[in-house]
């Protein structure tokens, strides 16, 4: 018996049970993720919550909201911000009437929903490396 199959190529009962558990776990994770996203959107909608102010230091992105709360996230979650200078990070603008933030010098956008859900950047390493390479070439010119 090799690779989870019996002599006739059918999955063994153990392999089938593991597969079913994995599918069930994946479905539960997806349902939980969807529930969190819907909950975050409902909170934003119910409170008409918007971003009002943005600040950064060497380690942290801090976003002040219209309901008086602040959200802080590590700059390491957003590599373009982390690689940016304090001056570049200070040049931001609100997008979507306060539903997101755009840093034109860094070509970075972060949504309020993503901040509420605690989502770090999902930029691929390949994309980030291209951006860093272009950035170093333009700095040396």
Higher pLDDT, 49 or 47: 49
> Does the pLDDT of residue 15 top 60, yes or no?
no
Report d(CA 51, CA 140) in Å as an integer. Answer: 35
Backbone torsions φ then ψ of 130, nearest 5 degrees: -60, -45
Task: Report if residue 9 sits inside a domain.
Answer: no
Task: Report if residue 88 sits inside a domain.
Answer: yes
Q: Quick one: pLDDT band at residue 27, thresholds 50, 70, 90? A: confident
Is 74 in contact with 59 (CB distance < 8 Å)? yes
Task: Report if residue 118 sits inside a domain.
Answer: yes
Instruction: Give residue 46's pLDDT.
Output: 56
Task: Report if residue 11 sits inside a domain.
Answer: no
> Does the pLDDT of residue 69 top 60, yes or no?
yes
Indicate the pTM of the whole model. 0.68
Q: Quick one: pLDDT band at residue 51, thresholds 50, 70, 90? A: very high
Instruction: Give residue 72's pLDDT.
Output: 97
Q: Which of 66, 85, 89, 80 has the alpha carbon at shortest distance from 120?
A: 80
Report d(CA 88, CA 138) in Å as an integer. Answer: 15
Q: What is the largest CA-CA distance in the chain?
A: 66
Instruction: Give residue 141's pLDDT.
Output: 66
For the chain, what's the residue count? 141
The CATH number for 88's domain is 3.30.2020.40
Domain count along the chain: 1
Task: Report if residue 26 sits inside a domain.
Answer: no
* Angstrom distances, CA of residue 33 to CA of 47, 101, 108, 117, 141: 21, 23, 24, 10, 45
Q: Quick one: pLDDT band at residue 18, thresholds 50, 70, 90? A: low
Q: By three-state DSSP, how is residue 84 classified?
A: coil
Instruction: Give residue 4's pLDDT.
Output: 46
Task: Report if residue 15 sits inside a domain.
Answer: no
Task: Report if residue 76 sits inside a domain.
Answer: yes
Which structural domain, as residue segments, surrounds residue 121?
48-140
Task: Report if residue 70 sits inside a domain.
Answer: yes
Report d(CA 57, CA 65) in Å as an integer. Answer: 18
CB neighbours of 118 closer than 8 A, spacing ≥ 6?
Answer: 73
Q: By three-state DSSP, how is residue 15 classified?
A: helix
Higher pLDDT, 27 or 125: 125
């Amino acid at each position: 018996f090799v690779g989870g199959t019996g002599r006739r190529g059918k999955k063994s009962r153990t392999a089938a049970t593991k597969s079913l558990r994995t599918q069930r776990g994946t479905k539960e994770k997806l349902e939980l993720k969807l529930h969190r996203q819907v909950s975050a959107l409902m909170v934003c909608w119910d409170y008409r919550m918007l971003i009002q102010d943005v600040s950064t230091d060497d380690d942290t992105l801090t976003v002040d909201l219209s309901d008086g709360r602040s959200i802080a996230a590590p700059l390491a979650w957003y590599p373009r911000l982390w690689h940016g200078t304090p001056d570049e990070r200070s040049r931001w603008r609100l997008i979507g009437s306060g539903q997101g933030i755009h840093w034109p010098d860094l070509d970075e956008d972060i949504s309020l929903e993503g901040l509420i859900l605690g989502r770090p950047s999902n930029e691929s390493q390949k994309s980030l490396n291209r951006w860093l390479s272009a950035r170093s070439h333009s700095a040396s010119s």
